Amino acid sequence: MDAQCSPHTKVFVQRDFTDGISVRFQTRYPPELEGRIDRSTYERTINKINEMFAEAESLGSKTYCESCFACMSAYIALTCMDTLYEKTLKKVRHYLEEQNQNIFMPRGVMLIDPAERGLRILEIDISSVETPQQPGC
C-alpha cells in the first residue's frame, strides 16, 4: 500500500447486500488491521453492530404501536420522543464510542460511526505512528 508515508490509513468497510438491502456491514477482516486488532475482536464488534441494526429494522408489535400512536397524534408526538430506529442509531454511536475508548484507540485504530457516512460504509482510521521504522515520513 502506498499509504505507508501518510499518517493515517483508512479502510472502508462496505455494506453487505447478500441478504437484501437491510443495513449490514461486511464482516471480512481487513488485512490492514493485522497485528493491531485480532480477528475475533473485530468480528465481534461488527456483528454486534449488525445485530443492533437488524433489531431496529425488525417489524414487531412495538414498532406498530409506536407508528400508530405517532400517526394518531399527527406526528406531534415525534417532537418529544425518539423512534426505535433513532434510539438504535444512538445505541450504535455509544457502543462504538465505548469500543473505541477501551479497545481500538489504545492500539491506534478508530472506528467511525456509519451514521456519519450515511450508513454506506464503516470507516476505520488506522494511525501509522506506532510503526517508527517507516523511513523519511
Partner 1 sequence: RAGIQAKTKMAKAVRRWEVFPGKNKFYCNGRIMMARQAGVFYLTCALIIVTSGLFFAFDCVYLAQNVTPTIPAIGGALFIFVMATLLRTSFSDPGVIPRASTDEAAEMERQQAVNSSPPGSYRPPPRTKEVVIKGQVIKLKYCFTCKIFRPPRASHCSLCDNCVERFDHHCPWVGNCVGRRNYRYFYLFILSLSLLCIYIFACALTNLIL
Q: How far apart are CA 35 and CA 31, in angstroms?
A: 9
Q: How far is the CB of 38 from partner 1 (least distance, A)?
A: 24
User: Which range of residues in 13-21, 30-38, 58-66, 100-108 is near partner 1 by CB under 8 A?
Assistant: 13-21
DSSP state of 114: G
Q: How far apart are CA 127 and CA 85, in angstroms?
A: 32
User: What mask of x and - would describe binding to partner 1 in positions 60 to 99, judged by CB under 8 A?
Assistant: -----------x--xxx-x---------------------
The full 3-state SS of 20-78, as one line of letters, equals CCCCCECCCCCHHHCCCCCHHHHHHHHHHHHHHHHHHCCCCHHHHHHHHHHHHCCCCHH
Q: How far is the CB of 19 from partner 1 (least distance, A)?
A: 7
Task: State which of residues 49, 92, 121, 124 lies at the interface with partner 1 (CB under 8 A).
Answer: 121
Q: How far is the CB of 43 from partner 1 (least distance, A)?
A: 21
Binding site for partner 1 (CB under 8 A): 8, 10, 12, 15, 17-21, 71, 74-76, 78, 115-118, 120-121, 123
